[in-house]
A and B are shown apart, each in its own frame.
Chain A
Amino acid sequence: MRPFAYERATDVRSAVAACAAGTADGAGAVYLGGGTNLVDLMRLGVVSPGVLVDVTRLPFDGIEETAGGGLLIGAGVRNSDLAAHPLVRRRYPMLAQAVVAGASGQIRNMATVGGNLLQRTRCSYFQDVSKPCNKRVPGSGCPARRGDHRNLAVIGQSEACVATHPSDMAVPLAALGAVVHIEGPGGPRQVPMPGFHRLPGDAPERDTVLEPGDLVTAVEVPPLPFAARSRYRKVRDRVSFAFAVVSVAAALDLEDGMVRDCRIALGGVAHIPWRADRAESALRGSPATEAAFAQAAAEELAMATPLPHNAFKVPLARNVVVRTLLDLVEAP
């Protein structure tokens, strides 16, 4: 394995400075959280940073209530702790459900909120350094389009890249419009989801809007009382320990059989956790019926451009959106 430097950051400014310095060196510096994805990628040779800046000792491991009834979740909070937190479970059930639907217990104990957001795609070609991949080596090509893409994107992909974002947690966060808190070389800033992750376009090597040296410090989940009626449904080939084929995070605000408000996001279908804006708009003010749900899902999925071997994801996503919304209507 290629040698690399390891630094343990003690405060946020020194972390950002260390990462920026490592990047400026040309060696490449990255932050190390739980390491559940990064270390695998280093072993595979997909990434080979010169400097690892360990940020797990920074004081970002708490979950605090915000003034309006939201939550500020530290980037270093372990996935298991996030999923078990009483306020997360009560206010945002879909978020707790999504986290426990991901990976295994052991991995969730290690993985952090920040790292979960920054997971790389599990596309086979991305992970195989003996083959081309535009995300790994820009300009080298995308064999997935003509090769194996059964579990890759059906919406918003580009000629250059058809990868999907693998996170479960990011799907409800996108639905909730969570705000990512970032500390960068230029100071702090905030980026709301969706908008934190990028569509691939012609620069699929960039998964997010983060700049070199940027450190995710927290994720702020805004107050959304009706998210107490929310649900995450993950469809996968294996019952556990598998990435989503398609997943849906949805929250419903009902009044007299009508949809007053709703939030819907899809996982496993795009390069980003896909916020279903069109479906949400179609549903607001409409009756909470199967027909209306199907119509809304169809409007969202009308923009899908599947590849030959993943066209099944479109009817699958439609079915799962409809079923999840119906389940929410029937929920006590």
Chain B
Amino acid sequence: MTTVAAPYAGTALDRVDGPEKVTGRARYAYENLPADLAYAVVVQATVSRGEVRAVDADSVLQLPGMIAAIWHENAPRLAPVEDAELTVLQSPRVAYRGQVVAIVVAETLESATEAARLLRVDYRAEPHDVELRADHPGMYRPDHVNPNYATDSELGDPDTALAFASVVVDATYTTPAQHHNPIEPHATVALWDADGLTLYDATQSASGVRATIAPLFALPPESVRVISPYVGGGFGGKGAPHAQVVLAALAAKQVGRPVKLAATRRQMFAVTGYRTPTVQRVRLGADEDGRLSAIVHEAFEQTATIKEFAEQTTVVTRMMYAAPHRRTSHRLVRLDVPIPTWMRAPGETPGMFALESAMDELAVACGIDPVELRVRNEPTIDPERGLPFSSRNLVACLREGAERFGWAGRDPEPGVRRRGRQLIGTGVASSTYPVYRLPSQASARAEPGGGFTVRIAAADIGTGARTVLTQIAADALRVPPAQVRMEVGDSALPRASVAGGSSGTASWGTAVLRACEALMAALHRRSGDVPPGGLEASADTAEELRSQRPLSRHAYGAQFAEVGVDLDTGEVRVLRLLGAFAAGRIINPKTARSQFIGGMTMGLSMALLEESVMDLEFGDYLNRDLAQYHVAACADVRDVDAFWIEEEDPELNPMGSKGIGEIGIVGTAAAIANAVYHATGIRVRDLPIRLDRLIGGGI
């Protein structure tokens, strides 16, 4: 595979949709106002397990402006599909508190909101179980973990290796449930007409929503159109359709009018997914020089009773460090809780908090510098798959990051550096994310009046995908980006994969490039002549992807943190964060930098702030707004910087790129926790690192 010449790829092109966004012309799902629009508001279960016994629709139907109340007894029947998250209002069963049990439709949002408040729902409640514990008797071994990894892995004899290891770290780490909280809440406007169903939706995959929703209404996919040109953030929460998409379509069908349904911020804590809490036990066995002989990483997680989502928390450990004896596993328990889903780097994010904290503990136990410890355990091939790496520059990231951060000469002694009333410490952690590439299609068209239109049902959820694809197309078409009009976010465009798994640029970029190449070939055959009707070519990458060589493909990074911990209060402030990344070729340094430091900021937020608090008595997440669920504010984020190492890897895709949307969050929390240990001598193994964990720890 060769890399294409690239005058525009690699340049910091401004976002091509910037003017639309800053002038308000970019239209988001909620902003669509078809004629005769009605408004729907959901009614959520107030029991955590049980059954809806009765819905007193008469109690609201006479209210002014009311159009309909819909619940399991009168809802349109949906075709049975496997995903119970989507077969809404089909049964009286309540699987978790906050599940949608009814929906009201009215002429105005205010009327619908009031009716939803007043609608009387009678339940038969059953005792619920919402507490994740590693020793829960309901723990089971899922068939596989997300998206399709083996549940467990084992190599050699880790138990014996641990028994004979000179140094052993055996520690349990926990991460709490976390909610995505994109700035744009989930919203759908559903509209039925003679052609079928149109959905204006906030989604990371227009093609995916179409493919998922069509069968529920027994429609062929081409009868469903999903329009989502602008999306205000997703972080995985909009990766797959949630109940609100189906509810909007179902309500619109029932009332025979277009229906708008938006989740409120509070509702999003129950109905649009979250990251599972985890309990993770890590055991490391090493010799006195810190060379690992055994790695064991076991994860315990929750899922809902009606749908399994098995986060791949320990999969990253299968590849990260060399050790002859190793084991990873995942166990799940079905609880009466909302349905977990993908959230930015599912698996790697919680998994690397545990593994990289444990590596720091091993460095302390062995008296070895934590950068050096990682370098010492660098594998030459993927340790469990036995495959060569397409490229692996973890060591370069560690070395170069250490250099720029000023790591040299670091005194490992914890709790001895003071600046004013703060204890100061530094920490490091590795970062990584797999390289995924998914089949996609694209078309490229030479317009008769000049210029090109490139179409693909990709999603720009704020990442800059539209801009980066424009750069790739411009290079392939050998024109400036201004001559390329990039259309994304519509299922009527050539089918594309989800904006997930940091796979967008690789997957869509390949399709865009191939379509543009095909168009250039067609133009060449016509000596550059564009016919009056324009000239179009298309591409499908399915075949190309199947011929990819088996290799271990991952991006790597190293994160360095400096923290100050207040001696009197235990308040942790991240004074500096520096990320070093090796992620193939960077196509747009400006949007890439935003992804890296955005991910790191989210990692900082995870380290210090984010926690969805389960209310054991009532069975729901309690802190359902942004005043109570803390995400990092500007003042928390002081000095965050990222740089990247040039990486030539011809085994990836024609652009030579690795995904960069998620790696930034991986390892950040461990780097900060390790810095907190270095500052205070207190090892915090449970996120978030709030002041009470330090005050209580005897700072």
Q: Is the CB of B696 within 8 A of A239?
A: no
Q: With A and B bound together, what is the CA distance between A323 and B691 in angstroms?
A: 16
The listed residue (B46, B613, B625, B690) touching A237 by CB distance below 8 A is: B690
Size bin of chain A's contact surface: 20 to 34
B627 in the interface (beta carbon within 8 A): yes
- The chain A residue with its CB closest to the CB of B626 is A241
Q: Name the contact of A320 in the complex, choosing from B113, B569, B618 (C-beta under 8 A).
A: B569
Number of interface residues of B (CB under 8 A): 35
A328 → chain B, closest Cβ, in Å? 14
When distances are taken between beta carbons in the complex, the residues of chain B under 8 Å from A240 are: 633-636
Instruction: Tell me, rounded to whole Å, the shortest Cβ–Cβ distance linking B314 to chain A.
Output: 29
**B613, A316: Cβ atoms under 8 Å?**
no
Minimum CB distance partner of B573 in chain A: A239
Chain B min CB distance to A35 (Å): 16
Known A-B contacts A124-B628, A242-B630; the reply to A320 vs B568 at CB < 8 A is: yes
Given A1-B113, A235-B569, A239-B635, check contact A150 B630 (CB 8 Å): no
B575-613 vs A, Cβ < 8 Å mask (1 yes, 0 no): 000000000000000000000000000000000110001
Residue in A147, A235, A312, A322 whose CB lies within 8 Å of B571? A235
Question: Given the complex, which residues of B lie within 8 Å of A148, measured CB to CB?
Answer: 613, 615, 622-623
Q: Which residues in A have their C-beta under 8 angstroms from that of B571?
A: 235-236
B692 within 8 Å of A (CB atoms): yes
Task: Report the nearest A residue to B118, measured CB to CB.
Answer: A2
Q: Does B570 make an interface contact (CB < 8 A)? A: yes
Judge whether A147 and B633 touch: CB under 8 Å.
Answer: no
Q: Is A245 an interface residue (CB 8 A)?
A: yes
Asked whether, in the complex, the Cβ of B622 is within 8 Å of the Cβ of A147, the reply is yes
Docked-complex contact B633 and A235, CB < 8 angstroms: no
A285 interface contact, C-beta 8 A:
no
Interface string of A311-332 (1 = CB under 8 A from B): 0100110011011000000000
Of B114, B608, B616, B622, the contact of A124 (CB 8 Å cutoff): B622
Contact A237 B609 (CB under 8 A): yes
Note all chain B residues with C-beta closer than 8 A to A146: 617
Q: Is B692 a contact of A124 with CB atoms below 8 Å?
A: no
A223 within 8 A of partner (CB) = no
Using known A-B contacts A122-B628, A235-B691, A245-B691, determine if residue A128 contacts B573 with beta carbons closer than 8 Å: no
- The answer to whether A195 has its CB under 8 Å from any CB of chain B is no
Residue-wise, chain A 87-130 has the 8 Å CB interface mask toward B (1 for contact) of 00000000000000000000000000000000000101001101
- Residue with the highest number of chain A CB atoms closer than 10 Å, among B568, B608, B630, B635: B568
Q: Determine whether B110 belongs to the interface, using a CB cutoff of 8 Å to chain A.
A: yes
Given A2-B114, A146-B617: A312 in contact with B421 (beta carbons within 8 A): no
**How long is the Cα–Cα vector from A1 to B46 in the complex, in angstroms?**
20
Per the bound structure, the CA–CA distance linking A131 and B619 in Å amounts to: 11
Contact A238 B636, beta carbon cutoff 8 Å: yes
Kindly state the separation between the CA atoms of A127 and B266 in the bound complex, as whole angstroms.
11
B570 pairs with A316, CB closer than 8 A: yes
Within the complex, the shortest CB–CB distance from B626 to chain A, in Å, comes to 9
Tell me how far the C-beta of B97 lies from the nearest C-beta in chain A, rounded to whole angstroms: 8
Q: Is the CB of A238 within 8 A of B634?
A: no
Residue A192 is within 8 A (CB to CB) of chain B in the complex? no
How close is B571's CB to chain A, nearest CB, in angstroms? 6
Among A1, A150, A316, contact of B569 (Cβ-Cβ < 8 Å): A316
Chain A residue numbers with a CB within 8 Å of B570 are 316
Across the interface, which residues of B come within 8 angstroms of A236, CB to CB? 571
Name the interface residues of A244-264: CB closer than 8 Å to any CB of B: 245-246
A237 to B691, CA, bound (A): 7
* B381 partner residues in chain A, CB cutoff 8 A: none
Closest Cβ of chain B: how far from A89's Cβ, in Å? 21
Once the chains bind, are A131 and B568 in contact (CB under 8 Å)?
no
B632 within 8 A of A: yes
> In the assembled complex, which residues on chain A have CB atoms less than 8 Å from the CB atom of B4?
none
A169 to B623, CA, bound (A): 24
Give the complex CA separation of A312 and B570 in angstroms: 11
Q: Is A143 an interface residue (CB 8 A)?
A: yes
Chain A residues contacting B695 (CB-CB under 8 Å) are: 312, 315-316, 319
B191 CB to closest chain A CB (Å) equals 26
CB-based contact B622/A238 at 8 Å: no
| Contact across chains for B617 and A143 when beta carbons are under 8 A apart | yes
Contacts of A143 in B (CB 8 A): 615, 617-618
Chain A residues with CB under 8 Å of B627's CB are 122, 241-243
User: Which of A131, A238, A241, A315 makes the CB contact (< 8 A) with B618?
Assistant: A131
Q: Which B residues touch A323, using CB under 8 A?
A: 421, 568
- Interface residues as binary, A52-71 with B (CB distance below 8 Å gives 1, 0 otherwise): 00000000000000000000
Within the complex, which residue of A2, A45, A238 is in contact with B609, where a contact is CB–CB below 8 Å? A238
Task: Kindly state the separation between the CA atoms of A315 and B692 in the bound complex, as whole angstroms.
Answer: 10
User: Which residues of chain A have C-beta atoms less than 8 A from B634's C-beta?
Assistant: 240
B124 within 8 A of A: no
CB distance from B472 to the nearest CB of A (A): 39
As a 0/1 sequence over residues 146 to 167 of chain A, the CB contacts with chain B under 8 angstroms (1 = contact) are 1110100000000000000000
- Cα A323 to Cα B569 in complex, Å, equals 10
* Chain B hits for A130, CB < 8 A: 46, 618
Expressed in whole angstroms, the Cα–Cα distance for A237 and B48 within the complex equals 30
B117 adjacent to chain A (CB < 8 Å):
yes
Cα–Cα distance between A246 and B623 once the two chains are bound (Å): 19
Complex CA–CA separation, A99 to B627 (angstroms) = 17
Q: Quick one: given A1-B110, A150-B692, A316-B695, are A239 and B636 in contact (CB under 8 Å)?
A: yes
Q: How far is the CA of A218 from the CA of B432 in the complex (A)?
A: 58
B630 touches which of A45, A237, A319 (Cβ 8 Å): A237
How does the 8 Å CB contact mask read for B163-204 relative to A, with 1 for contact and 0 for none? Answer: 000000000000000000000000000000000000000000
CA gap between A24 and B633 in the complex, in Å: 44
Query: Which residues of chain A are within 8 angstroms of B633 by Cβ–Cβ distance?
Result: 238-242
CA distance A183 to B266 in the complex (A): 38
- Determine if B569 and A319 form an interchain contact, defined as CB atoms under 8 angstroms apart: yes
Please name the residue on chain A nearest to B698 by beta carbon. Answer: A315
In the complex, which of the residues B568, B635, B692 contacts A312, with contact meaning CB atoms closer than 8 Å?
A: B692
Contacts of B630 in A (CB 8 A): 237-238, 242
CB-CB under 8 A from A319, the residues of chain B are: 568-569, 695
Nearest CB of A to B189, in Å? 21
Query: A241–B627 Cα gap in the complex (Å)?
Result: 8
Q: How far is the CA of A246 from the CA of B625 in the complex (A)?
A: 21
Q: How far is the CA of A312 from the CA of B692 in the complex (A)?
A: 6
The CA of A236 and the CA of B119, in the complex, are separated in Å by 39
Which residue from A122, A147, A241, A315 sits with its C-beta under 8 Å from B617? A147
CA A246 to CA B692, docked complex, whole Å: 11
User: A240-B635, A312-B692 given as contacts; is B623 within 8 A of A124 (CB)?
Assistant: yes
Complex interface: chain A residues within 8 A of B696 (CB):
312
Shortest A20–chain B CB gap in Å is: 27
Determine the chain B residues whose CB is within 8 A of the CB of A124 once the complex forms: 613, 615, 622-623, 628
Residues of A within 8 A of B616 (CB): 147
Give the distance to chain B from A234, nearest Cβ to Cβ, in Å.
Answer: 10
In whole angstroms, how far apart are the Cα atoms of A242 and B626 in the complex?
Answer: 10
B620 to chain A, nearest CB (A): 8
Kindly provide the distance from the CB of A238 to the nearest chain B CB, expressed in whole angstroms.
Answer: 5
Residues in chain B near residue A2, CB distance under 8 A? 114, 117
A264–B114 Cα distance when bound, in Å, is: 45
Q: Which residue of B has the minimal Cβ distance to A324?
A: B568
**A56 CA to B696 CA in the complex, in Å?**
45
A240 to chain B: closest residue by CB: B635
Other than the known A128-B624, A238-B635, A241-B633, what 18 A-B pairs have Cβ atoms closer than 8 Å? A1-B113, A122-B627, A124-B628, A127-B625, A128-B622, A147-B615, A148-B613, A148-B615, A148-B622, A150-B692, A236-B571, A237-B690, A238-B636, A240-B635, A240-B636, A241-B635, A316-B570, A323-B568
Q: List 6 A-B contacts (CB under 8 A).
A: A124-B628, A241-B635, A243-B627, A312-B695, A316-B569, A322-B568
Please give me the 9 A-B residue pairs with the lowest Cβ-Cβ distance, nearest first: A239-B635, A240-B635, A312-B692, A319-B568, A323-B568, A239-B636, A238-B630, A235-B569, A124-B622
Which residues of A line the B interface, CB within 8 A? 1-2, 45, 122, 124, 127-128, 130-131, 143, 146-148, 150, 235-243, 245-246, 312, 315-316, 319-320, 322-323
